[in-house]
């Protein structure tokens, strides 16, 4: 196993291991479960309504950002708190590789949780209303949103003790307030990266319409969203690699 792969594997083991995995699994499956119960009890209209008003909202505004923020912030934050930075960095592995592996681990972990939730919710929609088109948009949207969030929090977690809190404040202040009201901010919003990708790929008009209202000035489209997420990831990876080279690591 290469150093990159072993850092990814061990970081993911820390994020998803033990009881935590069950809690994350439960959180991911909850929206779909509610929707499934609602759909089975009250029919397809309720299933669609719950998907639009509940599942996608919970997943994209809350669950994916919170998990990606926590994983991004803790990718290095846990190493610093646990005082294991020396173990990780005093190896013949370039700082860029370490930064890249940590980003990949945070992204994969958050994407896994987000995509699982999105797939299950889309599955519940299919069962409840016969609309089976939302799996791919959900997975792509979750993956891109998770990438942007975890990338932004990666260097913050390296330099700040309370990075998770900072991330949540960012989520509430920038996403919920600034990006909603100021056009320039909405283009930089990781949340809207995910929802614009979703809206660009989805055939489900009601959800697309809801997301287009939320997205404001951000046009729907998976290609643009993927580019933005990739650009954010590259910039943040570079900042983190540079910080690992230049900062004291204990």
d(CA 204, CA 207): 6
- Given candidates 165, 231, 234, 235, which one binds another protein under the rule CB under 8 A? 165
Q: Is 210 in the site for another protein (CB under 8 A)?
A: no
d(CA 233, CA 212): 24
Q: Considering the complex, state which of residue 14 and residue 200 has its C-beta at the smaller distance from another protein.
A: 14
- Given candidates 8, 27, 116, 156, which one binds another protein under the rule CB under 8 A? 27
Q: Considering the complex, state which of residue 142 and residue 222 has its C-beta at the smaller distance from another protein.
A: 142
b/e code 74-86 from CB counts within 10 Å (16+ = b): bbbbebbeeeebe
For the CA atoms of 142, 145, 147, 148, the dihedral, rounded to the nearest 10 degrees, stands at 180
Q: Considering the complex, state which of residue 106 and residue 225 has its C-beta at the smaller distance from another protein.
A: 106
d(CA 197, CA 202): 9
Long-range contacts of 210-216 (CB under 8 A, 24+ apart): 210/52, 210/53, 210/56, 211/56, 214/180, 215/186, 216/179, 216/180, 216/183, 216/186, 216/192
Write the interaction track for another protein spanning residues 87-126; mark x where CB under 8 A is met and - where it is not. xxxxxxxxx-------------------------------
Q: Segment contacting another protein (CB under 8 A): 62-70, 137-145, 179-187, 206-214?
A: 62-70
- Given candidates 183, 217, 227, 245, which one binds another protein under the rule CB under 8 A? 245
- Given candidates 29, 69, 106, 218, which one binds another protein under the rule CB under 8 A? 69
Tokens coding 121: 């919710």
Residues found near another protein in the complex (CB under 8 A): 1-3, 6-7, 10, 13-14, 17-18, 23, 27, 30-31, 34-35, 37-38, 41-42, 46, 49-50, 53-54, 57-58, 62-63, 66, 69-70, 73-74, 77-78, 82-95, 162-165, 168, 172, 245, 248-250
């Amino acid at each position: 196993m290469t150093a990159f792969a072993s850092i990814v594997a061990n970081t993911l083991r820390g994020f998803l291991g033990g009881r935590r995995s069950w809690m994350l699994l439960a959180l991911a499956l909850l929206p779909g479960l509610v929707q499934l119960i609602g759909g089975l009890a009250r029919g397809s209209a309720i299933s669609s309504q719950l998907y639009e008003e509940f599942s996608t909202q919970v997943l994209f505004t809350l669950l994916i950002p919170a998990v990606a923020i926590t994983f991004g912030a803790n990718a290095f934050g846990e190493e610093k708190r646990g005082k294991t930075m020396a173990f990780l960095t005093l190896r013949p592995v370039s700082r860029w590789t370490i930064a890249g592996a940590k980003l990949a681990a945070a992204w994969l972990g958050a994407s896994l949780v987000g995509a699982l939730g999105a797939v299950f919710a889309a599955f519940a929609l299919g069962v409840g209303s016969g609309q089976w088109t939302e799996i791919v948009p959900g997975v792509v949207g979750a993956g891109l949103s998770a990438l942007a969030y975890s990338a932004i929090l990666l260097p913050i977690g390296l330099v700040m003790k309370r990075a998770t809190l900072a991330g949540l404040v960012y989520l509430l202040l920038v996403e919920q307030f600034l990006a909603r009201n100021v056009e320039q901010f909405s283009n930089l919003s990781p949340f809207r990266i995910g929802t614009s990708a979703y809206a660009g790929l989805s055939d489900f008009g009601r959800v697309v319409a809801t997301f287009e209202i939320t997205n404001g000035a951000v046009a729907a489209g998976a290609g643009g969203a993927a580019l933005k997420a990739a650009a954010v990831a590259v910039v943040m990876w570079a900042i983190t690699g540079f910080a690992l080279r230049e900062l004291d690591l204990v």
